[in-house]
């Protein structure tokens, strides 16, 4: 057999120039890789530096419920007393349903029965309150009762005068703060003869009075009076 094998492709020896070229190429590749890596790092650093942190504001709590209004307070130089109102029965039963006053205020606490009669729940202990110009007072409730200034003499019915018939009429009416009898308040309580009633009403309506007063203020007063018809007077 063959003592020596013949090399089909004999290995070539690298020259010095090839070695230097290879080394230069490796250096270039490594430098390019380093530059690429450095550029990516700089880009990432710039992105991180440019990032702005945004903090979201938490939602505001709901507003507190509105405070309830303070209780009614009466501020006046002459506050009403702390007490209660009294429901008075009507003098005449209405035939129709009266109109509803939407501006009129009703407070159940004013009818508690506690305190001074005629006062209100929001009044002041020891207060006297302003004098009412709409309430009707009795003679015993006023400081100065009604007194006539110019009382008109009633006309005598001719028939009864000729017949010599005397008589009287008991009437009831309210004298207002102007000193005149209120027409709608006039009532006939009793009379000795129907013919005397109209002359008695005419005389009362034509008369003038000094109004009643409470603490110096004029008030309405209920008056009961007898109008007499006498022969020869």
More confident residue, 157 or 85: 157
Residue 232 banded pLDDT, cuts 50, 70, 90: confident
DSSP state letter for 163: T
Between CA 123 and CA 126 the distance in angstroms is: 9
What pLDDT, on the 0 to 100 scale, is given for residue 30? 72
Highest mean pLDDT out of 7-21, 26-40, 193-207:
193-207
CB under 8 Å, gap of 24 or more: what pairs does 180-186 form? 180/205, 180/208, 180/209, 181/205, 181/207, 181/209, 181/223, 182/220, 185/222
Instruction: Give the pLDDT confidence of 105-137 residue by residue, as tens digits.
Output: 666 776 676 666 656 665 556 555 566 778 899
What pLDDT, on the 0 to 100 scale, is given for residue 75? 46
More confident residue, 86 or 163: 163
Residue 65 banded pLDDT, cuts 50, 70, 90: confident
What pLDDT, on the 0 to 100 scale, is given for residue 222? 96
32-46, 68-82, 138-152, range with the lowest pLDDT = 68-82
What's the whole-model pTM score? 0.49
Residue 156 banded pLDDT, cuts 50, 70, 90: very high
Between CA 196 and CA 190 the distance in angstroms is: 10
What is the enclosing helix (H) or strand (E) of 147? Answer: strand 147-150
Interval 17-43 mean pLDDT: 64
Between CA 81 and CA 118 the distance in angstroms is: 8
Q: Which CATH superfamily is domain 139-229 in?
A: TonB (3.30.2420.10)
Task: Give the pairing type, strands 217-229 and 136-137.
Answer: parallel
What pLDDT, on the 0 to 100 scale, is given for residue 74? 46
3-state SS string over 114-126?
CCEECCECCCECC
Opening angle at CA 34, ends 30 and 36, nearest 5: 115
**How many percent of the chain have pLDDT more than 70?**
53
Domain range annotation of the chain:
73-89+108-130, 139-229
List all residues 6 or more positions away from 114 whose beta carbon is below 8 Å from its beta carbon: 83, 84
Q: Which two tokens stand for residue 141?
A: 């409730």
Mean pLDDT of the chain: 76
What pLDDT, on the 0 to 100 scale, is given for residue 21? 72
């Amino acid at each position: 057999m063959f003592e020596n094998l013949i090399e089909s492709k004999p290995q070539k020896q690298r020259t010095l120039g090839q070695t230097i070229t290879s080394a230069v190429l490796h250096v270039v590749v490594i430098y390019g890789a380093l530059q690429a890596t450095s550029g990516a790092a700089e880009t990432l650093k710039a992105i991180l530096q440019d990032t702005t942190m945004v903090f979201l504001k938490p939602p505001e709590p709901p507003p507190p419920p509105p405070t309830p209004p303070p209780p009614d307070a009466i501020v006046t130089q002459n506050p009403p007393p702390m007490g209660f109102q009294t429901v008075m029965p009507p003098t005449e039963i209405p035939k129709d349903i009266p109109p509803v006053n939407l501006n009129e205020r009703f407070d159940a606490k004013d009818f508690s029965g506690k305190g001074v009669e005629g006062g209100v729940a929001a009044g002041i202990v020891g207060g006297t309150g302003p004098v009412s110009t709409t309430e009707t007072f009795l003679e015993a409730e006023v400081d100065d009762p009604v007194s006539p200034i110019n009382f008109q003499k009633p006309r005598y019915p001719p028939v009864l005068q000729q017949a010599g018939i005397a008589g009287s009429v008991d009437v009831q009416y309210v004298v207002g703060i102007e000193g005149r009898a209120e027409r709608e308040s006039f009532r006939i309580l009793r009379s000795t003869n129907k013919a005397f009633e109209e002359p008695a009403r005419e005389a009362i309506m034509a008369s003038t009075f000094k109004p009643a007063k409470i603490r110096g203020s004029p008030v309405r007063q209920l008056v009961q009076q007898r109008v007499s018809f006498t022969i020869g007077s």
